[in-house]
Amino acid sequence: MTFKECLMWAASLLATTHGIGWAHEPTDQIPPRPTASRGKFIASQFLWIIFYFIIWDVALILVRGNPCFTMGGPPLAAVGWWWHMVVWSHIVTVYCSMSGLYAIASIIFVAAGLYEPRDWPHILGSPLNAYMVRKCWGYMLTISFTLSPS
């Protein structure tokens, strides 16, 4: 291969952390690939972005309401158990942020024609599968450890 071809091959490998289309693609750990047309895929991604934004905003309302997170607020040990539990809503905000940004990137790259909709399965899977780390977050951890130097 020429230097330019090698550079494009390496950039493609680095850009597809899911390993879509490569030998290391973990097909048993990622959600099924989308089969919709470009237009339907982009429309569905816009709906997912709206959904993630609403859930993210609701979770942040709980975080902002916690008196422990204000300037000069009481320590977490000084408030009731409810405010202790609100800290878990940060998991929801991280999930929605990562999924929303991924959906935005999928819209941009599919609309530009650089990728097909089938190259963009959901990044983290369903939160209903979160009863096991391997089901929900395990794929991302697997890829992170696979791509990082030992």
Tens digit of each residue's pLDDT (9 = 90 or more) over 62-113: 888 888 888 888 887 888 888 878 878 888 888 889 889 989 999 998 999 8
Based on the structure, what is the number of domains in the chain? Answer: 1
Q: Does residue 51 lie within any of the structural domains?
A: yes
pTM, entire model? 0.67
Q: Does residue 86 lie within any of the structural domains?
A: yes
Burial of 110 (0-12, 13-18, 19+ CB in 10 A): buried
Sequence letter at residue 53 = F
Q: Does residue 23 lie within any of the structural domains?
A: no
Q: Does residue 28 lie within any of the structural domains?
A: no
Q: How far apart are CA 117 and CA 137, in angstroms?
A: 22
The model's pLDDT over 11-27, given as tens digits with 9 standing for 90+, comes to: 877 776 666 667 766 66
Q: Does residue 16 lie within any of the structural domains?
A: no
Q: Does residue 41 lie within any of the structural domains?
A: yes
Residue 110 is part of which domain span? Answer: 36-120
Q: Which of 96, 123, 119, 125 is nearest to 38 (CA)?
A: 119
136 alpha carbon, distance to own chain's centre: 10
